[in-house]
Structure 1
Amino acid sequence: MKKHLTVIFGLIISLGIYGCSTTSKLDPEDQLYTGMKKIKFYDKDNSQHAETTISNIENVLNASPNNSFMGGTKQMTFIPPIGLWMYNKYVDDSTGFGKWMFKRFATKPITIKSVNPKNRCLVAKSILNEAGYFHGSTNYEILTNKRNPKKAEIKYYVTMGPAMKYGEIMPLNASGIPDSIKTKEWNFQFLKPGAPFSIEDMKREREAISSAMRNDGFYFINSDAIIFQVDTLIKTGFASVKTTFRKDLPKEVFHKWQTNKISIVMNGLEGQTPNNEINYKGLKVRFYGKKPPVRLGVLRQHIRFKEGKLYTQFDEDMTRQALARLGAFGGMEYRFIPDTQDSLTSFEDIGKLNISILASQDKPWDASLEGSFKIKSNNYMGPGLKFSMAKRNVFGGGEKVSFDIYGSYELQAGHRQQTGTKFFDMNSYEVGTSLNFTFPNILWPGLTDRYYFFPTTTNFQLSSSMLNRAGFFSMVNLGLNAMYEFQPHSQHKHTIYPIKLNYNLMQHKTQKFEEILQDNPALRLSLRSQLIPQMSYTYTYDNYFSKKRAHHIWFELGFSQAGNIINALYSLGPKRYNETKKILGVPFSQFVKATAEVRYTFNIDRNQAIATRLGAGAIYAYGNMDVAPYSEQFYVGGANSIRAFTVRSIGPGKYIPNKNNKYGFLDQSGDLKLEFNTEYRFRLIGDLYGALFVDAGNIWLLRKDINRPGGSISEINGVSDFFKQIALGTGTGFRYDLTFLVVRLDFGYGLHLPYDTGKKGYFNVPKFKDGFGIHIAIGYPF
């Protein structure tokens, strides 16, 4: 072992001695780029327009050097520049070993010439001009390293000055356009008198005008046909804008067009040429085989064009989206061909368009094998494996059938603040399977082939799983779900579960677990074998895609009930309402449950935001069972909750488990939940962001429980006692934005525990070391 260590140490020393240069192979007239100083902005205002312009300039000027940290603009000296060492040592090496080392480990130096600050300044100046800062300027300075002249930094200087504003804005002269009400009475959406000048807004306005005209039948118009003539001499500091058409446009641009013949051509799965043809409600369908791959009714509903109707951009966009959502086609090409038999002599003449859609079928089968290693907020961790198969367009309407089989193994490790004990002993495994039928519509008589503007889904699922918690219990779960999800508007979504049936069968319990249940009667009832016949409705509002991006509001309201209909039917018989009744040999749950959560994010500027969340929930069990299923109860703590505490380590109320019972946390769930979170997010360096947060909340019981004293809402003695029962934590975190996902690390610290810890005062965490919670997660907490 010592010999091996000596060899490794010798190799490291050799690399340090013979490969320490990072600049030896540079062009004599070039320098190694080691980063940039903070950009110096002069004469800037505090408007949102200026913030947007500055952000665009930073995106152009920012450049990461070798050995940067998370996309930052500084070279990190604490990171060994191994890639540069390998480049300078082996770039000219012709030996096999040298070529292998160069290919595997070398990193090409980023130099001042490759960064090209002069061109970056020119682009930044262009951005200033496009944003109306016509008197602005950009410059840069090369800061040579005093100890090594072959290394240098860049410092940029940007002078903004006053922004030009819009003065008078004149609409299109529509006298030569036939009856285009939308154009003649056009209300500018992005160009407003007094607003900052912006080329980007002009582009958006052109798109809006051309889109409005296309929705009025002018198929051949596009944004390039519209130009703005800008005059900055009429009034100092203001730009007068005149909207007009580009000269020498073809005559087709100024004519309306209506849909004539409509056809769709669908090749075979192997690209075979169609050999069949059917005319269905004004749609010519050509296909290969004995029947079309997509039902005729579905095609007619999803192709929004109608013969004799004026062409609109809206119909084209909706047709493209609708056919793509079916998932039956791998590619589509749209052809709009003017009918040459028609002659257009005057502006009032309406042309005719023949529309042909060429579609290739997608492969029907998908298969995937997915491996994972999960680290959960409740300290469970372990590997998992999942195999999936799916067949698309099963019934000719874009339906999908999928089959999943999965398995995972987990173990839990952690530290309990109440008991001060560490644990690493709750091993478990889970295996399961599910069968899903997914329909891109509302599966209901009369609604099956109907077209919907926004994504609509019907899903039926059969599932089964077995969970084995080593040393405690094994449980089998069988599920049957039916779900409808639809959006009447882009910001409003409705989710309905008319059937959500779960059958939980406790197969085996160890003596240890029996002792735990003996000490926790409520837990025994909530974990018993039972049937959960549930129905639920959820409404979600999300304005993320609205114009006001600075203010993002997300709101969700859910309501569910279980067992009420079945119990009412049973009550018609000899059994009493409150008498426990069974189905399949087990009692069924009966409860009502409501949840509400609102999230608000205010984007202060390009680099910082404040996000808040307020959530509440309540569940009330009665009738056939007066304890809600364990899976339906509420808890707090963990990576997406109160981050200073682990999952199920707080509540209910001011209850604290017996310090001698390390499994007492199993009882820390409740019927009522209240939680509040706020977080200040800010950019640190490159794609690395920081956060400061405060979390508060707790859970309570709706009924008194002698085994959990102080846990019920009725045991709160006034407003002061209520606030004392709100757990409070704070902390800081880091978020690394990889564009497609966010990796999050949070360090929480508890400030207040909702029970008597023996320490006086509001900040009652007994020991400093016991107040920490560390969480690694994917995505933002809210």
Structure 2
Amino acid sequence: MNKTPLLHFLFLGLFISSCSNTRYLPEGELLYTGAKIKVEGKQTSKKENKALKNQLEEIVRPKPNSSILGLKPKLYIYNLAGTPKKEKGWRYWLKNKVGEAPVFYSKVDLEYNKSVLQNFSENSGYFNTKTSADSTRKGKKASAEYTVNPAKQYKIREVKFPTDSSILSTAVRNTRRRSVLKKEEGYSLNAIKEERVRIDARLKEKGFFYFNPDYLKVQIDSTVADHQVDLIVKVKDETPSLAETPYKINKIIVYPNYSIGIDSVKNNMDSIQKYNDLTIIDPENLFKPRIFDRALYFKKEDLYNRTDHNLSLNRLVNLGTFKFVKNQFTVSDTTGNYLDAYYYLTPLPKKSVRLELLAKTNSANYTGTELNLNWSNRNTFRGAELLTISAFGGVEVQVSGQNNGFNVYRIGTEANLIWPRLVAPFKLDSPSGFVPKTKATLGYEFQNRTKLYSLQTFKGSFGYLWKESEQKEHLLNISEITYASPQNVTALYQEQIDGNPSLEKVIEKQLIFGPTYSYTYTNTLQRRKKNTFYYKGTIDLAGNIAGLASGANIQKGDTIKLFDVPFSQFVKIENDFRHYYKLGPESQIASRIIAGAGFAYGNSRELPFIKQFFIGGTNSLRAFRARSIGPGSFDGAATNTSTFLPDQSGDLKLEFNTEYRAKIYGLVKGALFLDAGNIWLLNENSEKPGAKFSKKFLNEIAVGAGAGLRFDFSFLILRTDLAFPLRKPYLADGNRWVLDKIDFGSGPWRRENLVFNLAIGYPF
């Protein structure tokens, strides 16, 4: 292929875009193309110069128009949209939401930026820095250039804290162990500000409610040595006596039915109720007092501290019953240094109805809609309990999949009751601001798979949910019961069973009961971190006690039934680990590893179908049809004689996914991804040769790759992925890598290998 025309076309596009943007400029204006900063310190190292340069580039203003490969598409769209006739409509949206107004050079203040760079450098310890500013014009464009010559940086020789014996000075001195001001580090005004805030935060934990960072000063002595400073932390002389005093808690008063704008405090003073250390003013008796005793950390005579202050507020909010939570502390009129704590709580409406229309996708590659009607009671038994009763109905179809045309229709109902405490014979003292909860669930669902069968499912569970912190969460279901019963099995499906007996597992009656536990850790909400993680571990124990007590052993023919249905007995463990590596503000690498295993014993020969592992599809291996891979090297498509392809399932699962995500333009984001994995059976299955897990399992890994677009509409993310296989585990050993077979120009290859996925949300 001749590259010359392509290069000519590229340069022509760049030239046209450049000319298009500058020809719209008003008379006398220049397009600002950005600033260049040079750091030329002869007394500083290359590493210091580079670090300083990166910091200075962030603070220069204004920023030029955004660009991609030298082009400025947002500016081009802004100009192309012209002048809208009114402040709405397509043209207005295109110009002001998608487009970007030109940044004029006339908005650049060279002297101001010069002083900003100078001040930042000196505030970072590079005293006696010299800066200069200049500009360059080229046609209708202009840029700025700043040169910074920093002197040798001043280092911290010593940090001195107050030495007098006053209560406040002693408390300040006791915080020095975790000071952010370190010997031998460079002087930094930002670090000094951070140190004042840190000391204030520590004092707040020691009862100094009225203290604030402005009552501290840090004096600088630069005469102590060559390019060294001593930092002297002092309490200002004008600090008020209130700020010098640690306080204890006296009264704790709660108004659980406070109305903003109404003097409900004065009107309800005759409705006082005492409960332990609390004074509760609730004339309508809406809430049981014990919920506030559990939520509030402060007790009478406790030393005030910011941690208990915030945890108490967080717990009140976390109850989910109050619309507004307001807190106030005042100096008590009693003898001594005491505070009275007031909590003003405005309840949400007790009962509400909500109608939801959802778009959803699932692991079986089905896409559809669901309509939910929810009724809620937020204070069912006066203990901030939440009762929710919902009814739902939906339809799911495969846009691209082996079961296209076999649509799924679902209707059902579910009731949930959540107590904001542990309804249990044991106590759990959680140090977090999250209220431990008890949850009971009852549900029913009727599912109809067109042309095949219907399935009734009854579910019930009772368990506990608690969070150690924002990062750690536990879910323990003491009992989780599932009963599934088939109905209306069609002649078509029965014919398929005759040719493929494994299909019968799907419509077997199932009775599953037992405890489940999951642990979740995540720090992905910490946006500033470069590396963030998510982990969820789950263990499912079904029928274990019942199986041991009854002596069930299916291998010996001793099968125990409840309600004429054999109960399932198994252990299943699954681990989901994710890592997110931030490359920039709008780009990252996201990776996931899933490893799971299930073992049936006692009353079961194999895991129930709904508890087995599956792989492939929109949120899994995207280069393969949903649930079509495995187990092992078994080829379900080649051996299948059914009208549709059955879901392949296994007892073991190993999956790895990684993708590069980056913003392309506006609400459009892109991704390049690689997926790998497979499932296996623990035991031999004559109907599925090659399905058993063996030491050669790595040779049976499926691999796929692809690219996709994500349209971020804020209220939902629409995802499209186009993928193709790199390795097919069902091919003969030695021929499983198919890299040499890739041919995007071939129609037959595309029809056989390209898989389009449409989904809602990110895959992980």
Same fold (TM over 0.5): yes
Aligned pair 1:118/2:109, yes or no? yes
Displacement of 1:656 in angstroms is: 0.4
1:205 aligns with 2:195: yes
Q: Distance in 2 between matches of 1:430 and 1:662?
A: 24
Q: Which letter maps to 1:214?
A: K
Distance 1:758 1:450, change over 3 A: closer
Q: 2:395 aligns with which of 399, 409, 414?
A: 409
2:315 paired residue number: 322
Q: Report the equivalent of 1:8.
A: none
- Does the CA-based 8 Å contact 1:658-1:664 persist in structure 2? no
Superposition pairs of residues 253-272 of structure 1, within 5 angstroms? 253-267=243-257
Q: 1:696 aligns with which of 649, 660, 676?
A: 676
* Of 562-571 and 117-126, the range deviating more from structure 2: 117-126
* Structure-2 separation of matches of 1:128 and 1:684: 35
The residue identity in structure 2 corresponding to 1:188 is R
Q: Does 1:751 pair with 2:748?
A: no
The letter for the 2-side match of 1:332 is: V
Task: Give the drift of 1:218.
Answer: 1.4
In the comparison of the two structures, how many residue pairs are matched? 723
1-side partners of 2:38 and 2:485: how far apart? 67
Deviation at 1:607, TM superposition (A): 6.5
Q: Residue type of the partner of 1:172?
A: F
The one-letter code sitting in structure 2 at the alignment partner of 1:385 is L
Give runs of aligned pairs for residues 632-781 of structure 1, distance below 5 A: 632-659=611-638, 661=641, 665-681=645-661, 691-713=671-693, 716=694, 718=695, 721-733=696-708, 744-756=719-731, 760=735, 762-763=737-738, 768=743, 769=750, 770-777=752-759, 779-781=761-763
**What amino acid does structure 2 have at the position aligned with 1:532?**
I
* Correspondence 1:75 to 2:78: no
Q: Give the SS at the match of 1:175.
A: coil
Determine helix, strand or coil for the equivalent of 1:112: coil
Judging changes above 3 Å, is the alpha-carbon distance between structure 1 residues 117 and 78 closer, same or farther for their aligned structure 2 residues?
A: closer
Given that 2:34 and 2:64 are in contact with CA atoms closer than 8 Å, whether structure 1 keeps it comes out as: no
Contact 2:499 2:641 in 1 (8 A): no
**In structure 2, what residue type is equivalent to 1:484?**
Y
Partner SS for 1:207:
helix
Deviation of the 1:492 alpha carbon: 3.3
Contact persistence 1:567–1:577 (CA under 8 A):
no
Match of 2:547 in 1: 567
Q: Is 1:512 aligned with 2:495?
A: no
Stretch moving more, 162-171 or 589-598: 162-171
Relative to 1, partners in 2 of residues 1:409 and 1:242: Cα closer, same or farther, differing over 3 Å? same
Matched, 1:477 2:457: yes
* Bigger shift: residues 580-589 or 630-639: 580-589
What pairs up with 1:12-411 in 2 under 5 angstroms?
Answer: 28-30=27-29, 36=33, 50=51, 54=55, 57=58, 61-62=62-63, 64=65, 75-76=72-73, 84-87=81-84, 90=85, 107=96, 110-113=101-104, 116-118=107-109, 121=113, 125=117, 135=129, 141=135, 146=139, 149=140, 152=141, 164=153, 166-173=155-162, 175=164, 177-178=166-167, 182-185=171-174, 186-231=176-221, 234=224, 240-267=230-257, 273-274=267-268, 275-289=270-284, 291=285, 293-339=286-332, 342=335, 351-376=337-362, 378-411=364-397
Q: Deviations over 1:659-717 (max 9, x none)?
A: 3646664242111111223345566677866554432211101111111111111xx4x
Structure 2: which 5+ runs fail to align? 1-18, 744-749
Contact 2:400/2:756 (<8 A) preserved: no
1:542, CA displacement in angstroms?
3.3
Measure, in 2, the Cα distance between the counterparts of 1:127 and 1:689.
35
**Superimposed CA distance per residue, residues 335-386 of structure 1 (whole angstroms, 9 cap, x where no aligned partner):** 22223565xxxxxxx5222222222222223332222333556442233222
- Give the letter for the 2:73 counterpart: M
The verdict on how the C-alpha distance between 1:74 and 1:370 changes in structure 2, with shifts beyond 3 A counting, is farther
1:14 match: none
1:590 to 543, 562, 569: 569
Query: Aligned pair in 2 of structure 1 residues 332, 226: CA closer, same or farther (>3 Å)?
Result: same
Amino acid of the residue matched to residue 494 of structure 1?
H
**Closer/same/farther in 2, CA of residues 746 and 244 from structure 1, 3 Å limit:** farther
**Structure 1: how far apart are the matches of 2:88 and 2:700?**
66
- Letter of the 1:708 counterpart: K
Deviation at 1:567, TM superposition (A): 2.9
**For 2:672 and 2:47, how far apart are their aligned partners in 1?**
24
Give distance in 2, aligned partners of 1:262 and 1:514.
69
Residue 399 of structure 2 contacts residue 758 of structure 2 at CA under 8 Å; is this kept in 1? no
Amino acid aligned to 1:722: F
Q: Which amino acid aligns with 2:738?
A: F
Distance of aligned partners of 1:650 and 1:103 in 2 relative to their CA distance in 1, 3 Å threshold: closer
**Aligned partners of 1:571 and 1:577 also within 8 Å:** no
Q: What is the CA deviation profile of residues 474-507 of structure 1, one whole-angstrom value per residue up to 9, with x for unaligned ones?
A: 1111110123122335543322111111111111
Measured in 2, the distance between the counterparts of 1:607 and 1:334 equals: 38
Q: Which residue number corresponds to residue 16 of structure 1?
A: none
Q: Which residue of 2 aligns with 1:4?
A: none
Residue 346 (structure 1) aligns with: none
| CA deviation vs aligned residue, 1:246-287 (integer Å, no higher than 9, x gap) | 341111111121222221223367955324111222322112
Distance 1:366 1:197 in 2: 57
| d(CA) in 1 for partners of 2:735, 2:604 | 41
Task: State the shift of 1:653 in Å.
Answer: 0.3
TM-fit CA distance, 1:424 = 3.1
Once the two structures are TM-superposed, the CA of residue 588 in structure 1 deviates from its matched residue by 2.1
- 1:612 correspondence with 2:606: no
Instruction: Give 1:547 shift.
Output: 12
Is the partner of 1:636 in helix, strand or coil?
coil
1:278–1:408 Cα change, 3 Å: same
Identity, % of aligned positions? 25
Relative to structure 2, which stretch is displaced further, 240-249 or 752-761?
Answer: 752-761
Unaligned 5+ segments in structure 1 are 1-19, 92-97, 343-349, 417-422
Report the Cα distance in structure 2 between the residues aligned to 1:647 and 1:315, rounded to whole angstroms. 49
User: Per the alignment, in what secondary structure is the counterpart of residue 300 of structure 1?
Assistant: helix
TM-score (norm 2): 0.82
Matched, 1:626 2:615: no
- The answer to whether the Cα contact below 8 Å between 1:128 and 1:136 also exists between their aligned partners in 2 is no
Per-residue CA deviations over 1:21-57 (Å, capped at 9, x if unaligned) read 99999764445x5x74686665696689949964981
Q: Give the aligned residue type for 2:398.
A: Q
Asked if structure 2 preserves the Cα contact closer than 8 Å seen for 1:404 and 1:433, the reply is yes
- Over the residues paired in the alignment, what is the CA RMSD in angstroms? 4.2
TM-aligned CA distance change 1:413 to 1:335, over 3 Å: closer
Residue 351 of structure 1 aligns to which amino acid in structure 2?
N
Provide the residue aligned with 1:3 in structure 2.
none
Answer whether contact 1:121 1:138 (CA < 8 A) is retained.
no
Matched, 1:525 2:494: no
| 3-state SS of 2:200 partner | helix
Query: Quick check: 1:327–1:393 contact (8 Å CA) kept in 2?
Result: no
CA contact (8 A) 1:751 1:765 kept: no
Bigger Cα displacement from structure 2, 653-662 vs 278-287: 653-662
Deviations, residues 131-181 of structure 1 (Å, cap 9, x unaligned)? 55664869685766x4xx5xx575676859689465134243152531765
> In the alignment, residue 183 of structure 1 is paired with which amino acid?
V
Q: Is this contact kept in 2: 1:460–1:482, CA < 8 A?
A: yes
Alpha-carbon separation, structure 1, partners of 2:535 and 2:151? 40
Instruction: Call closer, same or farther: CA 1:736–1:429 in 2, change over 3 Å.
Output: closer
Inter-partner Cα distance in structure 2 for 1:327 and 1:137: 56
Q: Which residue of 1 aligns with 2:437?
A: 457
2:697 partner amino acid: F
Which whole-Å CA distance do the structure 1 matches of 2:249 and 2:209 have between them?
A: 10
